């Protein structure tokens, strides 16, 4: 992938599989690392730095037809909705059991099976929610 650049088959696969839903105000867009924004006298020129399928604006005068560059009127209260046509994350689970001093520990890890990224705050097969890093540790006394 690294030698082929963004035109590699893996990069194209990721572009189709990893897309995001996002509600955000133009004021937040201007300071967010998810966007490259520049200002003119009357407009904001915004380049989203993530994958999505389409975007709508609460301001009918904004130009959001081109996914690469958005031309927005200077109104920081305008709301933008970035929409993806694919599921944002396909969650898988890994668990590992270890017994130490008559206590059985089970470590659960939830992750996105496409990207390998942690999937925080997801329900595990034991019915508990994972932490912000995708982990949950369960323990049971074994007799």
Residues 75 and 96 in one domain: no
pLDDT for residue 75 is more than 50: yes
Residue in 111, 102, 107 with CA at minimum distance from that of residue 126: 107
pLDDT, the chain, mean: 85
Residues 70 and 97 in one domain: no
Residues 20 and 71 in one domain: yes
Q: Cβ contacts of residue 39 below 8 Å, gap of 6+?
A: 45, 74
Task: Report the number of distinct structural domains present in the chain.
Answer: 2
Domain region containing 108: 91-141
Residues 79 and 95 in one domain: no
What are the pLDDT digits (tens) for 21-52? 788 899 999 999 989 999 999 999 999 988 88
Residues 102 and 136 in one domain: yes
Residues 29 and 66 in one domain: yes
When pLDDT is cut at 50, 70 and 90, the band that residue 108 belongs to is very high
The Cα-based distances of 47 to 19, 29, 43, 51, 55 in angstroms read 15, 10, 13, 11, 12
pLDDT for residue 15 is more than 90: no
pLDDT for residue 89 is more than 70: no
Residues 99 and 52 in one domain: no
Residues 96 and 76 in one domain: no
Q: Cβ contacts of residue 41 below 8 Å, gap of 6+?
A: none
User: What pLDDT, on a 0 to 100 scale, did the predictor assign at position 99?
Assistant: 94
What is the spatial distance between Cα 48 and Cα 37, in angstroms, rounded to a whole number?
A: 8
Decide which of 61, 83, 105 is a domain's last residue.
83
Residues 75 and 98 in one domain: no
Residues 105 and 65 in one domain: no
Cβ–Cβ under 8 Å, residues 14 and 8:
no
């Amino acid at each position: 992938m690294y030698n082929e650049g963004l035109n590699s088959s893996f990069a194209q696969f990721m572009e189709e599989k990893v897309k995001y839903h996002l509600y955000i105000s133009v004021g937040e867009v201007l300071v967010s690392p998810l966007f490259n924004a520049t200002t003119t006298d009357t407009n904001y020129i915004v380049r989203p730095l993530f994958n999505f399928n389409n975007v709508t604006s609460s301001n009918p005068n904004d130009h959001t037809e081109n996914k690469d560059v958005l031309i927005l009127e200077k109104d920081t209260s305008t709301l933008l909705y970035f929409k993806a046509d694919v599921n944002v994350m396909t969650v898988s689970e890994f668990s590992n059991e270890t017994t130490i001093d008559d206590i059985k520990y089970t470590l659960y890890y939830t992750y996105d099976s496409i990207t390998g990224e942690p999937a925080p705050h997801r329900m595990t097969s034991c019915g508990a929610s994972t932490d912000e890093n995708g982990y949950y540790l369960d323990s049971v006394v074994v007799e």
